[in-house]
C-alpha cells in the first residue's frame, strides 16, 4: 500500500482476509480462554466471515452476515470496470450522494440521522494518515476484493460453499440494498443447507449501509436476540 498503486497487482484479496481473520479468532480464543466465538461480517467482510466459518466450524459458535456477497448475473456497482491497480482512491465525502441515491427519492432526506455521515467520514479519513496528507478527503482502498468479484462472484464461481457451514447463521439485509440485491440473499439463504438453524432478517427502509441509518436499531436488536438465544 505504501508503493505507487500501478506497481503491484490488486492487494488484499479474500484469501488474505480469511487468513487475517483466522489469526484474530485464534488470538481472541486464546486470550479469553474460549473454545468458540461469534463471528460477524458485513459485505466483503461477510464473504471473509462465511468462508472462514465454512472451514472452522469448531471455532465458531454463531455466524452473523450482513449483506454478504453472493453470485450475481448482473454488474456489481462497486466494480466500475477497467484495469485494477493495487489500490484505488475513494472520495469519502462525495459518497453520500451515491449512498442516498440508492434509496427512493421520498426517503432520502430522513434516511441518515443528522450529522452521522459527516462524523463517519471524519473517522474513516483519520484511519489513513497518508491520504490525509497526500489526497485530502480521499482514502486508499485495496482492489483485491474487486478482483475477486471478477474472478468469483461475476464468473459463477462461489468462493466458498455455504453448505459447509454447520453453525447457526443469521443473515441481515436492507430492502433497498442495490449492492447486494434481495435475490442474492435468497439464493445464499437457500445454500445454507447444513446450518444448525438459519434466520433471515430483512430491514425495512434500509440500504447496504443500514448500520448508519435510521433503522439500524432493528439490525442491532436482531443481532442481540440471535446472540443471546439458547437454542
Sequence ranges of the domains in the chain: 5-228
Which residues does 102 contact at the CB level (< 8 Å), separation at least 6? 176, 177, 178, 179, 207, 208
Grid coordinates belonging to 73:
448475473
pTM (two decimals): 0.95
pLDDT at 140 over 90: yes
pLDDT at 7 over 90: yes
Task: Please state which CATH number belongs to domain 5-228.
Answer: 3.40.50.1820
Strand pairing partners for 128? none
pLDDT at 231 over 80: no
Which residues does 131 contact at the CB level (< 8 Å), separation at least 6? 89, 125, 138, 139, 140
Q: What is the pLDDT of residue 131?
A: 84
Amino acid at each position: 500500500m505504501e508503493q505507487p498503486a500501478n506497481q503491484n497487482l490488486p492487494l488484499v484479496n479474500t484469501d488474505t482476509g480469511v487468513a487475517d481473520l483466522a489469526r484474530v479468532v485464534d488470538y481472541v480464543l486464546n486470550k479469553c480462554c474460549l473454545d468458540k466465538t461469534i463471528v460477524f461480517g458485513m459485505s466483503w467482510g461477510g464473504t471473509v466471515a462465511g468462508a472462514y466459518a465454512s472451514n472452522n466450524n469448531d471455532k465458531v459458535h454463531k455466524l452473523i452476515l450482513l449483506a454478504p456477497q453472493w453470485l450475481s448475473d448482473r454488474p456489481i456497482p462497486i466494480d466500475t470496470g477497467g484495469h485494477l491497480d493495487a489500490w484505488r482512491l475513494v472520495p469519502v465525502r462525495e459518497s453520500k450522494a451515491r449512498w442516498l441515491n440508492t434509496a427512493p427519492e421520498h426517503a432520502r432526506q430522513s434516511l441518515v440521522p443528522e450529522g452521522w455521515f459527516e462524523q463517519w467520514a471524519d473517522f474513516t479519513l483519520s484511519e489513513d494518515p497518508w491520504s490525509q496528507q497526500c489526497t485530502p478527503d480521499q482514502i486508499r482502498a485495496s482492489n483485491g476484493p474487486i478482483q475477486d468479484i471478477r474472478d468469483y462472484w461475476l464468473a459463477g464461481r462461489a468462493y466458498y460453499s455455504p453448505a459447509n457451514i454447520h453453525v447457526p447463521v443469521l443473515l441481515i439485509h436492507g430492502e433497498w440494498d442495490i449492492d447486494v440485491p434481495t435475490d442474492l440473499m435468497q439464493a445464499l439463504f437457500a445454500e445454507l443447507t447444513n446450518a444448525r438453524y438459519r434466520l433471515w432478517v430483512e430491514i425495512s427502509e434500509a440500504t447496504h449501509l443500514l448500520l448508519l441509518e435510521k433503522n439500524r436499531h432493528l439490525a442491532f436488536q436482531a443481532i442481540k436476540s440471535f446472540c443471546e438465544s439458547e437454542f
